[in-house]
Chains A and B, each alone.
Chain A
Amino acid sequence: MKIFDLTVFSNISAIKYILNGTFNTIFLTLTGIGIGFICGSLLTFGEVYLPSPFNFIFRIFGEILRGIPLTVLFLILYLGFNLGTLTSAIVGLGIRSAAYQSQIFRSSLEAIPQGQLLAALSIGLKKSEIFLHILLPQAIKIMIPSWSNEFITLLKDTSIAFVLGITEIMTRAELISRAIGRYFEIYIFIAAIYFIMVRGSNYVLNLIYEKNKIPGLGERR
């Protein structure tokens, strides 16, 4: 028996079956990052702008989500809250990403030198206008690199939805490899798929970063 048997890849229908899982992986990534973006913004708002003790509640919520493994979170949602498998996967990835994205948003806001807020007040801008025209545009530009990392982490973590049996790449690879009795080739194959998706996302996000980069912004003195 060969160590790496290339004939495994001549099984077109099996390979196609795995490749089709890419759509589910991308779907989970995009819904997760989307939900994470919306809920993460709310978490940040709660943490930064609400008076205590309310901001504290938001912070605790984030701490808990960051403090438990994704697998456990999935199973709590699926078995504890009786959500469906797909719902558990989407909600689990979404709220966990929210916890991380909120940290990214908060630290980006905090990276903006406070003197600019005084300057904005001094020319007569209102607080809401300062947030919209001074803070937000800078925070968005500052957060792109860390946000890219979160996107890629989430993309890879969709594979954990395997525990729920969602037929994304990982689950499909597991089914196929068991059926044909070859594990090494199939897992190397999906590793390559993940790698290509990660590098591709990285490339695009980096282009966005370079296009929006402003000298001196986000660099700590």
Chain B
Amino acid sequence: MKEVLKVIDLKKSYGKNEVLKGVSFNINENEIKVIIGPSGGGKSTLLYCINFLTRPDSGKIFLDNIELTSPDTNLPKMREKIGFVFQHFNLFMHLNAYNNVLMGLVRVKKMKINEAKEIVENSLNLVGIDKKLWNLFPAQLSGGQQQRVAIARAIAMNPRIILFDEPTSALDVELIGEVLKAIKNLALKGMTMLLVTHEIEFAKDVANEIIFLDNGVILDKGSPEEMIINPKNERIKKFLGIISKEKENV
């Protein structure tokens, strides 16, 4: 199997606070890995470091065997190949749903607007954004719709991998399902993905491997069965217990 992403001994500190203390893992083509773990454990920082939205202190990152951490890397060129879906959607406020997806194709891939048309439409269709929403601005869309447009914006660039940073945590409960469904659709298409989420049931459903990140280190990783159904590690057991209690309260 072809290796898409490899992370070796990644470290990052904010002042005296060491957020990542040497994290290593890799993802092969068509694989889906889910990172779980308590808040403040470094999950988001890890994703932000992978495409250099946050600069890591040390360690190596490879995308398709090209080193991103080397000083002469063309960062915009590499970021183009790494999709990113944010917790707070971060759509471009001055552009409607359609043009949000179009932006990267025209400005980064330098396509003509009519060349890009098919890609934009396919991307929006894939995440279930109906044609009548295409002309609406982000502020006119629900959170779930905004997040699905953000996913369409990422997939339109035809990335090698998409990173999801808690894509449903900013959503009302009744909107979570539609976003997870869109991500599931991508999974069925064979998209390589790295997902940070608190949706344990969903993780169990789509993940090839689950990584438990706590306090800046990978505490354990394994198949959903090993990690969620029969966890051995006490920390993970405790964490899953907390999560399921929170669910009951909702």
Contacts and interface: CB of A to CB of B under 8 A. Distances in A.
Contacts of B107: 125, 129, 133
Interface string A97-124: 0000000000000001101101111111
A217 B154 contact: no
A119 B86 contact: yes
A122 B92 contact: no
A217 B83 CA distance: 25
B84 interface: yes
Interface stretch (B73-81, B218-226, B233-241): B73-81
B104 A125 contact: yes
Given A124-B108, A124-B157, A133-B103, A119 B139 contact: no
Contacts of A67: none
Contact of A116 (B53, B83, B91, B139): B91
Nearest to A130: B107
A116 B93 contact: yes
Interface in B78-108: 79-80, 82-84, 86, 88-94, 103-104, 107-108
Interface residues of B, number: 29
Contacts of B104: 123-125
A116 B103 CA distance: 12
Nearest to A219: B139
6 contacts: A112-B93, A116-B93, A121-B51, A121-B53, A123-B79, A141-B94
A214 B94 contact: yes
A219 B157 CA distance: 30
A215 B137 contact: yes
Contact of B92 (A116, A124, A129, A141): A116
> Which of B53, B93, B154 counts the most A-chain CB atoms under 10 A from its CB?
B93
Contacts of B94: 134, 137-138, 141, 214, 217
Contact of A215 (B77, B79, B139, B157): B139
Contacts of B91: 116, 119
A115 B86 CA distance: 8
B82 A122 contact: yes
> Which of B80, B103, B140 counts the most A-chain CB atoms under 10 A from its CB?
B103
B151 to A, nearest CB: 12
A216 interface: yes
A126 interface: yes
Q: 9 nearest interchain CB pairs? A: A216-B139, A124-B80, A115-B90, A122-B84, A119-B90, A123-B104, A124-B108, A215-B139, A124-B76
Interface string A161-197: 0000000000000000000000000000000000000
Contacts of B157: 123-124
Nearest to A140: B94
Interface in B198-230: none
Contacts of A129: 107-108
B92 A120 contact: yes
A169 B174 CA distance: 64
Contacts of A122: 51, 53, 79, 82-84, 154
Given A118-B53, A216-B140, A217-B139, A134 B80 contact: no
A220 B139 CA distance: 12
Contacts of B137: 214-217
Interface in B230-250: none
Nearest to A134: B92
B140 A215 contact: yes
Given A119-B84, A121-B79, A113 B108 contact: no
Nearest to A139: B94
A123 B107 CA distance: 10
Contacts of A216: 93, 137-140
Interface string A10-29: 00000000000000000000
Nearest to A132: B107
A126 B89 CA distance: 20
Nearest to B93: A217
Contacts of A116: 90-93
A216 B146 CA distance: 13
Contacts of B103: 120, 123, 125, 133
A113 B93 contact: yes
Given A126-B76, A133-B103, A215-B139, A119 B108 contact: no
B36 interface: no
